[in-house]
Structure 1
Amino acid sequence: MSRPHFAALLLVVFTLLSPPQAAAQPYSALYVFGDSLSDTGNISAIQFAAGSPLTLPADPYYQGRFSDGPVYAELVAAGLGLAPLLPSVHMFGAPASGSNYAVGGARSAYNLPLLQSGIPQPIVDASSIAGEVGAYISGLGGAAADSDALYIFFGGSDDMLDAVATLASGGSLSDALSQLNAAAASLISSIDALIASGVQHLLVMNVPDIGKLPSVLAADAAVAGFSALVSQLTQSLNSALWNHLNAVSGIDLMRFDTFALLDEIVATPSAYGLTNITDSCYLGDFLGIYNPANPSACSTPSQYLLFDTEHPSSGVHAILAAQVLATVLPVAEPSEFPLLALGLLCLAIFCQQRRITVCPGHGSPRLPSALRRHAQTA
């Protein structure tokens, strides 16, 4: 892209995301706990530091992300006017270097890809969602968590995929339910640990509708009703989380229904600027293994629902970021949603095209003033 085009794109970004006048930041920092949907480079750093011959995700994935561009979490940080959301790389006994603890492959209590790749067990243990939360709390050294920061907890998707794999390999429904019950208990324990550490502003995101993944829908041809069963199991996991949160009080607890958002996007893709919800932009995998049916990524990844068979495109991450921001900040007018989503998508595309490792931090674009909120403790 030529420089004039980049200049024009930046102008659009700052016009859409900048407030008419300066406003105070609603949160002091952003901390994230989760899996590959939120990882901004932790799993790549872990594998590299551990001397693994395979560093994932490989090209054409974007700089340690499991997508073709920046993921929702770093777009949220930019939209809040915060510093770039850096990976924590907290697994080697050193203090965290960033505030994003999410690790690709993280299940509630273990990390399957790292476990299978021969990474030492202590590192594997610290790379689960429970391990991420434990590492953060340990790093506090007995002090309380930053009560002015925003904390995002987004886990359980990989646990759900493991349950799907159990069913697909001939396992029983009872086996899958046992896996999900254990996952729910572990996720709830991690949430409770964060709250006990002093977290005051917590956003919990539930698991997206795994039954809507094209790979799961395709299984209906062999097993009638399989995708519907997977959707029901996902809802059961989400219900366990939500029911527990109903008893939480004394903090600013926010919920985000990722399950409903994915269903809405699939039902009306054109309303979100998507042109393909049935195919993956890239049919290789995150190890960079060549696939002759699709040797390279498609030319318009942001218009696809999925970049690969499981992970959303940069376009969907921009949509998700816009909705998350609208959850943690008040929205005066619903008409601002399209502008916010467009601004975040432009920011994602700019970072990707320029091969920028992180999106703008100091002096980064902020949301329109109508979308700002100073969260109050409940």
Structure 2
Amino acid sequence: MARRAGVGLVAGGGLLVVLPCLCFCFLLAAAGAGAARRYEAMFNFGDSLGDTGNICVNKSAADQLLLTFANPPYGMTYFGHPTCRCSDGRLVVDFLAQGLGLPLLQPSKRRGLDFRKGANLAIVGGTALDFEFLKSIGLGYPVWNNGAMNVQIQWLRDLLPPICGAPKGQACRAYMANSLFVFGPFGGNDYNAMIFFGFTVDQARNYTPKIVDTIASGVEQLIQLGAVDIVVPGALPIGCFAVYLTFLPSPNPGDYDEYGCLKPLNALSVYQNSLLQSRLAGLRARHPSARIMYADYYAHIEQMVRNPSRFGFSCGAVPACCGAGGGKFNYELDARCGMKGATACRDPSSHQSWDGVHFTEAVNRLIADGWLRGPYCHPPIPPR
């Protein structure tokens, strides 16, 4: 499989483009109830959109090239220093935890912590498809072996005994039933592995049903462990991200929409979201006692792209706040945010894109708010 020239390891999702990746939603209880449902814990799965440090704890020699997001100015807005999060501050999962009265989720790979209030199992490079399958189709680059979906579920199983006893035991099932699970997003890195390493968009699309089937199987695994409330985020409009626009330019003007986004890439996300929503409907029918929610990343981000000023952004949707690449999008493989010479814009909250691949804290706050209070989570939880 031919590898695109100049496209290799990239930080924080860089070319590996760990897209975006995390999401979940929680709505207030019915007005008559007067209070929000309280959860005992929360568990998050996914990729660099939700990783709060697993990649830095679990890093290998190959990962060292990816860890530009462990350098300043990452983390500048809220934490004041890099935390291994791919943003200038908090991620969506951080805002969700704070909104639910839970502590910020610690990376599950960090030893010696108390995970009774939940854990973050997401990791940079996380895929839906197992690494062995990716290898079988010629995509065995080590970065995709950080922690596929099934690996992350196994990490959860490994965490449960000291928290609640034997997995599937009565105590653990009760604990799981009172916890919230944010399952994804998954699929972004599967497409990155394909598209940045020689596949066409149409070839990648052939694997979308398998990706969606894999995600659905993961939801069922959580239900078998006793999970009841599971939020499954959809894919993002990746055609509006600087990394794709930089490395996958099209000579055909018709491939771009009026906002400068690549229509074929966005169509790929729309296709996955359509299949995913259909599969989730089937899961709800088979598991009526579970609350399986679809969190709509795409619609919310699309609105921000179309009308930035409505959401308080003075800069366009695509250009990165942080980088040293200059050019149209301030994104360049060898001059990424966190590398020597890279700087951040004066006010990250004026930008949607932090590093050309991941969002600013300002966007993450809006996304979390949209999932906590609507209307970007379907169905609402608890029911109105």
Aligned counterpart for 2:45 among listed residues 30, 33, 54: 33
1:106-149 Cα distance to aligned partner (Å, 9 max, x none): 1113579xx7568xx9xx46x12221122213443333361011
* Cα displacement (A) at 1:329: 11
The one-letter code matched in structure 1 to 2:349 is S
Alignment of 1:1-378 (within 5 A): 26-47=38-59, 56=67, 57-59=69-71, 60-62=73-75, 63-89=83-109, 99-110=119-130, 116=141, 124=145, 127-140=147-160, 141-143=166-168, 144=173, 146-154=176-184, 155-166=186-197, 169=198, 171-217=199-245, 219-224=248-253, 225=255, 227-249=262-284, 250=288, 251-276=290-315, 277-283=317-323, 288-290=338-340, 292=341, 295-327=342-374, 375=382
In the TM superposition, what is the alpha-carbon distance from 1:162 to its structure 2 partner? Answer: 3.3
CA contact (8 A) 1:39 1:104 kept: yes
Mark the CA change 1:99 to 1:32 in structure 2 (over 3 Å): closer, same or farther.
same
Larger CA deviation: 145-154 vs 256-265: 145-154
> What is the distance in 2 between the residues matched to 1:374 and 1:184?
23
Deviation at 1:178, TM superposition (A): 3.1
Contact 1:35 1:107 in 2 (8 A): yes
Q: Is the 8 A contact 1:184 1:240 kept in 2?
A: yes
1:50-69 residue CA offsets vs partner (Å, 9 max, x unmatched): 89755722222221100000
Q: Which amino acid aligns with 1:236?
A: Y
1:30 Cα shift?
1.1
User: Distance in 1 between the 2:47 and 2:200 partners?
Assistant: 26
Q: Distance in 1 between matches of 2:36 and 2:222?
A: 26
Between the aligned partners of 1:139 and 1:68, the Cα distance in structure 2 is 29
Q: Secondary structure at the match of 2:104?
A: coil
Cα offsets for 1:42-97 (capped at 9, x unmatched): 1111128x89755722222221100000101011111111122211117x899968
AA at the equivalent of 1:253:
I
Taking structure 1 as reference, are residues 132 and 287 closer, same or farther at Cα in structure 2, changes over 3 Å only?
farther
Give the whole-Å Cα distance in 2 for the aligned partners of 1:287 and 1:46.
21
Closer/same/farther in 2, CA of residues 53 and 302 from structure 1, 3 Å limit: same
CA distance in 2, matches of 1:172, 1:23: 49
Q: What amino acid does structure 2 have at the position aligned with 1:37? A: L
Cα distance in 1, alignment partners of residues 201 and 178 from structure 2? 43
Partner of 1:363: none
Q: How far apart in 2 are the matches of 1:282 and 1:318?
A: 18
- 5+ unaligned residues in a row in structure 1: which ranges? 1-21, 331-372
Inter-partner Cα distance in structure 1 for 2:112 and 2:252: 47
Decide whether the 8 Å contact of 2:233 with 2:297 is kept in 1: yes
Residue 5 (structure 1) aligns with: none
> Is 2:107–2:120's contact at 8 Å kept on the other side of the alignment?
yes
2:293 and 2:375 map into 1 onto residues whose CA distance is: 7
CA RMSD between the two structures: 3.4
Cα 1:23–1:109, aligned 2, differ >3 Å: closer, same or farther? same
* Matches of 1:23 and 1:210, distance apart in 2: 36
C-alpha change, 1:30 and 1:329, in structure 2 (3 Å) is farther
**Could you tell me how far 1:287 is from its partner in structure 2?**
8.0
Runs of at least 5 residues in structure 2 that lack an aligned partner in the other structure: 1-33, 76-82, 135-139, 161-165, 257-261, 325-334
In the TM superposition, residue 257 of structure 1 has moved relative to its aligned partner by 0.8
Q: Secondary structure at the match of 1:255?
A: strand
Distance 1:68 1:287, change over 3 A: closer
Using structure 1 for the length normalisation, give the TM-score: 0.69
Alpha-carbon distance between aligned partners in 2 of 1:374 and 1:209, rounded to the nearest angstrom: 25
1:147–1:234 CA distance, 2 compared to 1 (3 A): same
Please give the alpha-carbon distance, in whole angstroms, between the structure 1 residues aligned to 2:41 and 2:112: 23
What SS does the corresponding residue of 1:99 show, helix, strand or coil? strand
**2-side partners of 1:256 and 1:52: how far apart?**
30
How far apart are 1:220 and its partner, in Å? 5.0
The amino acid of 2:293's aligned partner reads M
8 Å contact kept, 1:161–1:210: no
In the TM superposition, residue 174 of structure 1 has moved relative to its aligned partner by 4.4
Instruction: Output the CA distance in 2 between the equivalents of 1:69 and 1:53.
Output: 22
Number of residue pairs the alignment of both structures matches: 299
One-letter amino acid of the counterpart of residue 297, structure 2 = T
TM, length-normalised to structure 2: 0.68
| Identical columns (%) | 25
Residues of 2 paired with 1:232 and 1:55: CA distance? 28
What is the CA–CA distance in structure 2 between the aligned matches of 1:25 and 1:320, rounded to whole Å?
20
State the 1:182 CA deviation. 3.1
Q: Which residue of 2 aligns with 1:347?
A: none
Range 157-166 or range 131-140, more displaced: 157-166
